[in-house]
Structure 1
């Protein structure tokens, strides 16, 4: 009896996954040809440039809107980016055949992901959450208990995932399962290391998030444009279309942009004021010496017909030069690392969610390097190292219970009365 083959035309979910994976792989012939194929000599470069430019405009517009909406919305954007990055990276080493024999195994990845999210953001935002609910006694006690048991909660969530993993181990699948377990933890380290520093930068002031992120975008666009029109000398074998002309031109453009953008951004309190709570109200603060303009007389340096006899420079602009230097020379190596990683797995992009750009991870490779540097630089060279009244109050609110704070208040009152009595 002849078998009915009509159903073979309908692709199964596993077949669709394999087909999508194959479509993202780089054919050996194209990869080989691409090794000596510069962007300036690409016949389809104008079509790809139009697609890339259109996506870039949409991304920049949406990014500007979120920046205007404020700190919490920027944090929400970071969380969404994290989820998409994790999804792309989780799928990278996924094998459909093996997964079909492990029902529910993929949920374990997301269990570890959200456990890590709770741990990281709980530590970063705990004090700001306390500042937000302080007027309400019930919420204050509730949040205080959540913060007090935050670490042990995250620990037991992780242990639950660990036990879940052990209980799902199957014979002949050990190697694949342990490989996925290690891959999941590596993804969490990569994603949350970057995001933790990014969120910390946001609440120190949007300026310290927006400037580094903008410089990476400017460097990427400038490298593409200079390489598009002038690229002739290959830069690195990992990225065949990257050229020295694009790299040098982008470096100059990025450093100049850093100096100019810092002067523009530094004049808006919405961007420079740190956020001490989780509210969405407008910010007003003392900008501090870094954001107060210093005026320099140019009369002895420029001709008489020159319209500007005086120039104002914010001290933060000198720090911006250092950030721009890093963004133009060091941060691109994050992209080179990602290129080598993709070549190792023989894929063109991590995903296809952004037309002309690839996936979210393809756009965040340099941002991950930049976010860590921006936080490290801010803490080392910008943030005041001495103790302040605000810092002490934050420690009191974070580490003492309401009753202990009342006792401290009474003891401080007694000390002040005794000191006043002695002086009188």
Structure 2
């Protein structure tokens, strides 16, 4: 009998160690980007599809319920997602042996995490918080103090963590500790950059959060299903099961869905009205020109069997096409980046909290790219670029104490009276 030349296949202890693999490690056959790994040739694809579909139904149902409950609940969902993402990423390079020699070191990561959370959400929600407590004098003063000293509070919390880190440095473990310190800051940048733009989108109107998020979900599902049934041509080596057929088919379906969904969402004031405070009541507002229908006559070259000769289109639907194009062509590269990241660390998924999908981070890779683009697009092409009375009032109420507001009011009255007298 010929002896196996591969020591990893032997039955001794060394062989067992070499063949042992963590549950989250990438199998060798998945890493190879060849035709045998495409979903169309996968023997277990139907079982995988059922598990993935079951999880998707629960996620979409829960997501719809949270959207119905309103802005604060959506923000709470974002916070929960952030915590799970941070946990998955903190654990990615965690070494149990080193952590046992550094009691409390993992707690330091969460100290930085919640300091960053206080800084980000304090800046985003400060004006909404002021608008919520204006009727209560004590709370108004308390919130005013918080806003005034918010930045210095966050700074000293960070400095406390910095000093904590220095004091816990241990001989022969410097490299591991400094690596974890850098890793923590990278995680905070990734997680909170995405979340800050996401929360800003929510308060500009749930529409600007819901539509981009929905387009990513639609694109992901469409790419999976089209690739599942028709995929033949590998798209990129980083994701062996991605195909050109799935990519192109998903792009067409996402653009079509963007146009239709924008029209559907645009008819609900609950989704289109911006939220100026932190209350949970129903919203009513002037929808603005973007959400007021315009009538278009169907061109004569369209066949006569088309049911309508005149259609209503919301101007925001043209903006939705731009979001759909980005969600189809650019946002998937967030997923490719995450795939390359996982390959680099030899893991299949960031976690296993969602059956059939992996971890929370696996579902948020494209969403992070999309949220940033949606905010930048909204601020650049949708929001008026000139200063408005509302924007100026927001700055006055947030940054000036009550006495200075009265002084400003008096001074403006004097200026107006002088100009009126001069013109007369």
TM interval, shorter chain, is: over 0.9
Question: Distance between the aligned counterparts of 2:29 and 2:221, measured in 1?
Answer: 28
Aligned residue number for residue 180 of structure 1: 180
Distance 1:29 1:423, change over 3 A: closer
Distance 1:423 1:49, change over 3 A: same
Aligned residue number for residue 74 of structure 2: 74
Deviation at 1:413? Answer: 2.6
Question: Distance between the aligned counterparts of 1:396 and 1:268, measured in 2?
Answer: 31
Question: Distance between the aligned counterparts of 2:394 and 2:274, measured in 1?
Answer: 14
Deviation at 1:420? Answer: 4.4
Deviation at 1:140? Answer: 1.1
Counterpart contact for 1:35–1:237, Cα < 8 Å: no
Deviation at 1:32? Answer: 4.0
Distance 1:170 1:44, change over 3 A: same
Deviation at 1:134? Answer: 1.2
Aligned residue number for residue 199 of structure 1: 199
Counterpart contact for 2:205–2:271, Cα < 8 Å: yes
Aligned residue number for residue 101 of structure 1: 101
- Higher mean C-alpha deviation, range 203-212 or range 21-30: 21-30
Q: Deviations over 1:302-344 (max 9, x none)?
A: 4555431210111111111111000000000000000011011
Q: RMSD of the alignment, in Å?
A: 1.6
Aligned residue number for residue 42 of structure 1: 42
- Higher mean C-alpha deviation, range 179-188 or range 296-305: 296-305
Counterpart contact for 1:200–1:375, Cα < 8 Å: yes
Q: How does 1:14-25 map to 2 (within 5 A)?
A: 22-25=22-25
Aligned residue number for residue 163 of structure 1: 163
Aligned residue number for residue 313 of structure 1: 313
Question: Distance between the aligned counterparts of 1:216 and 1:338, measured in 2?
Answer: 15
* 1:23 counterpart SS class: coil
Q: TM-score under structure 2 normalisation?
A: 0.93
Counterpart contact for 1:197–1:371, Cα < 8 Å: yes
Aligned residue number for residue 370 of structure 1: 370
Residue segments in structure 2 that go unaligned for 5+ positions in a row: 1-19
Aligned residue number for residue 236 of structure 1: 236
Q: Does 1:110 align with 2:110?
A: yes
Question: Distance between the aligned counterparts of 1:110 and 1:134, measured in 2?
Answer: 33
Counterpart contact for 2:31–2:240, Cα < 8 Å: no
Counterpart contact for 1:273–1:283, Cα < 8 Å: yes
Deviation at 1:30? Answer: 5.1
- Higher mean C-alpha deviation, range 226-235 or range 303-312: 303-312
* 2:295 counterpart SS class: strand
Aligned residue number for residue 63 of structure 1: 63
Counterpart contact for 1:219–1:328, Cα < 8 Å: yes
Aligned residue number for residue 410 of structure 1: 410
Counterpart contact for 2:35–2:232, Cα < 8 Å: no
Distance 1:23 1:412, change over 3 A: same
Counterpart contact for 1:216–1:367, Cα < 8 Å: yes
Q: Deviations over 1:156-197 (max 9, x none)?
A: 000000000000000001000000000000000000000000
Aligned residue number for residue 275 of structure 2: 275
Aligned residues: 405
Counterpart contact for 2:26–2:348, Cα < 8 Å: yes
* 2:353 counterpart SS class: coil
Distance 1:232 1:126, change over 3 A: same
Q: Deviations over 1:189-241 (max 9, x none)?
A: 00000000000000000000000000000000000000000000000000000
Counterpart contact for 1:298–1:309, Cα < 8 Å: yes
Distance 1:299 1:167, change over 3 A: closer
Deviation at 1:31? Answer: 3.5
Q: How does 1:331-370 map to 2 (within 5 A)?
A: 331-370=331-370
- Higher mean C-alpha deviation, range 409-418 or range 215-224: 409-418
Deviation at 1:23? Answer: 1.1
Deviation at 1:27? Answer: 3.1
Deviation at 1:410? Answer: 1.8
Deviation at 1:26? Answer: 1.9
Q: TM-score under structure 1 normalisation?
A: 0.93
Distance 1:416 1:165, change over 3 A: same
